[in-house]
Amino acid sequence: MRSTAVRRAALAASTAAFALLVTACGGGSGDDGKHEGGSSAAPEATPAAKALTAAELEKAALAQADVTSGKVTTKVPAGDPVAQDEVTTDDEACAPLAYAQAGTYAGTPAATARRSWLGEPKKPAEGASAEESVLATLDIESVALTLSSYEDGGAEKAMKDLGTAAEKCAGGFTYTADGSETEVLSVVTTEAPKGGDEGLAVTMAIDVEGDKAPMKVVVVRKGATVAYFPAMNLASAASGKDFTFPAQVVEAQVAKLG
């Protein structure tokens, strides 16, 4: 274990994306499942789905009863996450990924709803050092969920733009969210989630004090609604090791969208 791991975790927590996901969540317990592979392709053209209203999105958004573990927060604090216009990139082609990672949305939705999910910290091993005990308390997956409903094919365009960004920005990019700069070193497309009309999953390696730390984003389209699931784990930020994406959050939300 690196002697600077705890300090790196604190630095990671101070970046816009990490701070967003930590402050947007409450307490609770975590879960399982990992996505690896590629993005799912859109099906053949079908009649455009109707955009959901804000009230309909709130009704369709994740609730505590929909998950088997972890805590769902339905009242996300004001100012979390950052607004789309507070996110800028050094390469406009990468903007959709920057928006998703920062906890906002691509394109211009007609309505949105916010939720967050927080897992449960792992217990330190018997005889663990003070540093190992601190890292155990940080070993928590968290997800900042945004549901966005689009009119006139906007959902399909958002997915297309995200897929294009994942390809064009595989070598990395830099973005600024709410005044804090994050350097993305690489973008790797992993296995898309099932159950929606389209899906995309990526793992981004971001720079934390000269080392790499993983961040993950899963996006699913169901009809005219796009669900964004940026996820992180502070212990992984400290160690640089990969973490398991909490698939139950995606599965529960997609199932609720019908």
In SS3 terms, 195-233 reads as CCCEEEEEEEEEEECCEEEEEEEEEEEECCEEEEEEEEE
> What pLDDT shows up at residue 229?
97
> What pLDDT shows up at residue 211?
87
Structure tokens given for 35? 């996505």
233: CB partners within 8 A, 6+ apart: 138, 139, 140, 141, 142, 214, 243
CA dist., res. 32 & res. 231, Å (int):
13
Structure tokens given for 81? 């996450």
0.85 cut: is pTM over it?
no
Parse the chain into domains and list their residue ranges. 5-256
CA dist., res. 227 & res. 195, Å (int):
12
- ∠ CA 255-141-248, nearest 5°, is 20
> What pLDDT shows up at residue 138?
83
| pLDDT digit string (tens) for the chain, length 258 residues | 344 454 455 445 444 444 444 444 443 333 333 334 455 555 444 556 899 999 999 999 999 999 999 999 998 765 566 889 999 999 999 999 999 999 999 999 999 999 999 998 777 778 778 777 777 778 899 999 999 999 999 999 999 999 999 999 999 999 999 889 999 999 999 999 999 999 999 999 999 888 899 999 999 999 999 999 999 998 888 888 899 999 999 999 999 998
Closest CA to 146 of 25, 61, 59: 61
> What pLDDT shows up at residue 186?
97
H/E stretch holding 39 reads none
